[in-house]
Structure 1
């Protein structure tokens, strides 16, 4: 039995994973190129065995060489689909985990679960969603790349994003001041005139016991928000300091609402009684049917608290996002 040379073993290892119809051509090409390279080294004074070893070492791993002949990628996500994969994954990670965590949190709160249980379940679900989303999205693109499928997605200039504003223009200032002014007027109007016809004395929605201290704190927050909007307009850009201040103001507002909501002191008890009486027997029956979850009013309180919390979280994230983008623009 003749012992195969290093060159023969290298060529065999290279062509074994290629299609049968291409193996002969690749074998002939490699035999010729290896022989020429070895001969050139021998002419320069190297021993034949050392020359052969040096040439094969220079060619590298035969599996890598075979992948080049077969045009087969040796990576999970190559340049062809990388940007499409990354953009889709970022979009999904912004939407799906937030929706999943928000949904499970809202469901647990409505079912009467404790704060600790709710946080634990929400974190667990969020991590599972992120892991599964990343794995399956990546797997899909691996299959697309390995099979050579065409997604049909082609870039053109119409896909260029619009120039994003950082929320520091005159229109944003006016909108903020108008909104804050309406909020302040609404609080005063609710106390003096009410928003619902009662056939008698007006019944405010907010608990009258909040006057003067709690309402004064709310007005102080409104004034601070107005000052913040004016300063932001004067700066013409978001900064880290402005993002921190925005976070503090958002958390202060959330604390004002949620503390009163949890203590049952936000909404006027007379207003709740009026709503219950106006709803009649059907409303009372519905409230009794939801007794295991604390009644309809408790469910509405949870929904209100969840909505306020979600709005505050988004406001904080949006402020930091704008500050980060402004910082990058400044560096450029």
Structure 2
């Protein structure tokens, strides 16, 4: 293969993707530029063949060079839209797949599907939702990139984040302690002197059979949650150990609640009878209510765990 053959092949590969109207001009300009670069290397003592290969190698991929001549974008999403794309993608990926998973799981549980089917279908739909979100969001921004359209998002000084205070200010600490005391008081009051009056007699909300063992577990979790809140406030920020403890407490409470709901032992059976059965509400209604209660508790625990880890990771970056 002669040097001319190699150079002509490179030029042909470069101009092949260009509009016909500009090919000859680029061919002539590129041919002259390559010839001058080769002659410059030869004058420095290089062999013609080696000089030609070095010049063509330095020019790089012909497709990239052609994109430069044609002013074509070689990225799917450029820097103008990248940050907006990333923010929107992160937001949607944190919401849509989770909603899909919860929705499918609830539907499968209500249809009395086996546990394996519930888990498999929920995860499958969540993954599918995540893929669709990533694909369609990216496609939209790729189109915006190539049509020079604007997203309407423009950064201003008002977008600067506020100066961070402590992760747990004193007001939140006081609120957490008050809520903990109220929960403990409400549980003990409900069991000792029920305030719900039905058919002229008091009925507790929680099943009396939960006392003392199951109630002790619940009160212990509440006390430990309050203690964790105090420690976080004294430390001034969340840490990885705090996030781990928070996760463990949430899992203990979730296990406690789901176990009792599955056994039908959380809510006082007499209350269920008076409110639902005696009023002609039967069939799948109690089971549906139990599933919704379990889902609400699970979502609440998941959000609490996620919030703890988010604050711990944010504190590590400061």
Partner of 2:168: helix, strand, or coil?
coil
Instruction: Give the number of aligned pairs.
Output: 316
Inter-CA distance 47–301: structure 2 relative to 1 (3 Å threshold): closer
Which residue of 2 is the match for residue 254 of structure 1? 254
Which residue of 2 is the match for residue 131 of structure 1? 131
Matched, 1:303 2:255: no
Which residue of 1 is the match for residue 160 of structure 2? 160
Q: Distance in 1 between matches of 2:309 and 2:60?
A: 49
Partner deviation per Cα, 1:243-299 (whole Å, 9 max, x = no partner): 1111121112112212111111111111112113663xxxx2x53xxx3xxx21111
Q: Distance in 2 between matches of 1:76 and 1:101?
A: 30
Shift of 1:66: 0.5
Q: Structure 2 length as normaliser, TM-score? A: 0.90
Shift of 1:69: 1.1
Which residue of 2 is the match for residue 183 of structure 1? 183
Conserved? CA contact 1:176–1:229, under 8 Å:
yes
Conserved? CA contact 1:166–1:326, under 8 Å:
no
Inter-CA distance 46–257: structure 2 relative to 1 (3 Å threshold): closer
Partner of 2:158: helix, strand, or coil?
helix
Conserved? CA contact 1:166–1:322, under 8 Å:
no
Q: Distance in 1 between matches of 2:292 and 2:70?
A: 58
1:1-332 matches, within 5 Å, as: 5-163=5-163, 167-276=167-276, 279=279, 284=280, 287=282, 291=283, 295-329=284-318
Partner of 2:79: helix, strand, or coil?
coil
Shift of 1:107: 1.0
Shift of 1:94: 0.2
Partner deviation per Cα, 1:182-241 (whole Å, 9 max, x = no partner): 111211332344343325221111111222222222222222222222122111111111
RMSD value, Cα: 2.3
User: Structure 2 regions of 5+ residues with no counterpart?
Assistant: none
User: Structure 1 regions of 5+ residues with no counterpart?
Assistant: none
Inter-CA distance 50–128: structure 2 relative to 1 (3 Å threshold): same
Shift of 1:149: 3.5
Shift of 1:47: 4.8
Q: Distance in 1 between matches of 2:191 and 2:243?
A: 33
Shift of 1:35: 3.0
Partner of 2:197: helix, strand, or coil?
coil
Q: Distance in 2 between matches of 1:161 and 1:47?
A: 61
Inter-CA distance 201–152: structure 2 relative to 1 (3 Å threshold): closer
